[in-house]
Amino acid sequence: MTDLTPNAAALTDLLTSSRRPALGAFLPAGFPNWTAGIDTLAQFAHHGADFLEVGVPVHTPALDGPDIAEAYATALGQGAAMAHVISTVRLTAANTRKPVVVMSYAERVRDFGPERFAEELAEAGAAGVMIPDLRGEAAAQWHAIAAAAGIHAPQFVSRRDSDAELEQAAATSSGWIYAPAADARTGFQGDLDIPGLRAFTSRLRERARQPIVAGIGISTPARASVVAPYVDGIVIGSPLVRPLLKSGEGRQYALDQLAAFAEALRPAPQLRTLPA
């Protein structure tokens, strides 16, 4: 097995050594356009993101709600291709010195070629690639391909999964396991079932050694602080993409939102006992 690339190893350190959950910020490659997207990712790094997640645009994002689906459509309408994804990863990793991970549906990976996809992203500086619609043997095959390239292959799991399915996901993933905070599509803004999330992450901890990263439904900084005790990382997507779909002050609002999420995850200061 190939050793982890330095960027993949840095992501492992980030998720396993911090006193608080690491904060990830998501943006589709090529959105709002190629150059603005790269600049926005750099600004995310300056406004509190510990790692960055780049989405591969696709026409039918089965797990995503309307905001991210619209952002993907915008990117594709401007000609976003896999070359843009790889160059976005390369420039973002080099300019921010933050771990960069990629989220792609299996369709795009199959069309590009899984081995080529893993190798080119590893060379570009990606720390890992999550393909959320892979399960079973297909997930095991991708795990082996990613390992050969030295990058992580996290798995997406559901609280509806059986214990056996969670064990299989743990065996065919590396880097982290993605456990949605809500059993819904991205952009969900309804109530979170925190007791259900606590039970879900407890089941995962019993069966997996990988860090747990949560997203979906963490729509406000207050919700991030409530989810934080149960996970090792939180990824924010729709709360950042939604304002970017609007003109005017959309990007500044997204950056302010990200800074508020970062503040909500900041560990409480340690109280010192003063001498009498």
What is the pLDDT confidence band of residue 271, given thresholds at 50, 70 and 90? very low
What is the pLDDT confidence band of residue 272, given thresholds at 50, 70 and 90? very low
Which of 104-113, 116-125, 149-158, 247-256 shows the lowest mean pLDDT across its residues? Answer: 247-256
Given this model, what pLDDT does residue 268 score? Answer: 57
User: Taking Cα atoms as reference points, which of 8, 46, 40, 200 lies closest to residue 55?
Assistant: 40
What is the pLDDT confidence band of residue 267, given thresholds at 50, 70 and 90? confident
Task: Tell me, yes or no, if 64 is annotated catalytic.
Answer: yes
- Catalytic annotation, pick one of 39, 50, 64, 120: 64
> Is pLDDT of 187 > 60?
yes
What average pLDDT score do residues 255-274 get?
A: 78
User: Taking Cα atoms as reference points, which of 109, 131, 130 lies closest to residue 120?
Assistant: 109
- What distance lies between CA 227 and its chain's CA centroid? 16
The rounded distance, in Å, linking the Cα atoms of 145 and 140 is: 9
What average pLDDT score do residues 157-171 get?
A: 95
The two most distant CA atoms of the chain are separated, in Å, by 70
What is the pLDDT confidence band of residue 1, given thresholds at 50, 70 and 90? low
pLDDT tens by residue, 193-246: 999 999 999 999 999 999 999 999 999 999 999 999 999 999 999 999 999 998
Query: What are the tokens at 159?
Result: 């609280």
pLDDT tens by residue, 46-58: 999 999 999 999 9
Given this model, what pLDDT does residue 170 score? Answer: 95
User: Taking Cα atoms as reference points, which of 161, 50, 142 lies closest to residue 104?
Assistant: 142
- What distance lies between CA 89 and its chain's CA centroid? 13
pTM: 0.94
> Is pLDDT of 275 > 80?
no
> Is pLDDT of 276 > 60?
no
What is the pLDDT confidence band of residue 59, given thresholds at 50, 70 and 90? very high
Which domains are seen in the chain, by residue range?
6-264 (3.20.20.70)
pLDDT tens by residue, 90-103: 999 999 999 999 99
Task: Tell me, yes or no, if 107 is annotated catalytic.
Answer: no
Average pLDDT, the chain: 94
> Is pLDDT of 2 > 90?
no
- Catalytic annotation, pick one of 50, 53, 67, 161: 53
Share of the chain above pLDDT 90, in %: 93
